Amino acid sequence: MKKDHTPEYMKQLSGKVLEINFKTQSLKMSFLATKDICHSNGTIIQGGFTTVMMDSCMAFLIMELTDFIYTPMSIDINVSFLAAGHPGALECRSKIVKLGKSIGFAKAELHQDGNLIATASSSLKLVKLEGVQKDFLKDNIAKEAKIIKP
């Protein structure tokens, strides 16, 4: 049995890749927010966790599109919080704006109950890292993902 290389933060957020679309260069993920990551008596998701969800969705997309040759490192991430998120299921979709040789640009939207609660855009440095577990997505959080090839 293969070792689960899923990062602990992704386990805490119950992150799952639902769809990887190589045609549209997009990725869809689901998350589950618990009261443990909320403030205001456990009713509103803390903004850092909202950001992590979108940042991860953008990063995993770039990792997939580059066949895990590159790991994206955030240069900047701009987040707009449009509505409060609450404990429960969330869905995030990321999309590539532009993918160059050393810098990528991506955007993401986070939805809950059909409502857009936050958006993000990010500039990402593409870094070659030795020893990156190439299949951690496929073998763990993306094992049931729908794959759409070009």
Radius of gyration of the chain from its Cα atoms, rounded to whole angstroms: 15
Q: Torsion angle of alpha carbons 17, 98, 55, 86, nearest 10°?
A: -80
Q: What is the mean pLDDT of residues 78-85?
A: 98
Which tens digits make up the pLDDT trace of 28-55? 999 999 999 999 999 999 999 999 999 9
Indicate the DSSP class of residue 124.
E
Domain coordinates of the chain in residue numbers? 9-138
pLDDT band at 3 (very low <50, low <70, confident <90, very high): confident
The reported pLDDT for the residue numbered 4 is: 76
Is the domain spanning 9-138 CATH 3.40.720.10? The answer is no
Which tens digits make up the pLDDT trace of 121-134? 999 999 997 766 66
Q: What is the mean pLDDT of residues 62-73?
A: 91
**Largest distance between two CA atoms of the chain:** 46
Sequence-ordered list of residues with C-beta below 8 angstroms from that of 32, at least 6 positions apart, any chain: 13, 14, 88, 89, 90
73 vs 133, higher pLDDT: 73
**Interatomic CA distance for residues 130 and 25, integer angstroms:** 24
The reported pLDDT for the residue numbered 2 is: 67
Yes or no: say if 139 and 2 are a contact pair by the CB < 8 Å rule: yes
**Interatomic CA distance for residues 94 and 107, integer angstroms:** 6
Which tens digits make up the pLDDT trace of 7-28? 899 999 999 999 999 999 999 9
- Do β-strands 146-148 and 16-21 pair in parallel, antiparallel, or remain unpaired? parallel
The reported pLDDT for the residue numbered 58 is: 98
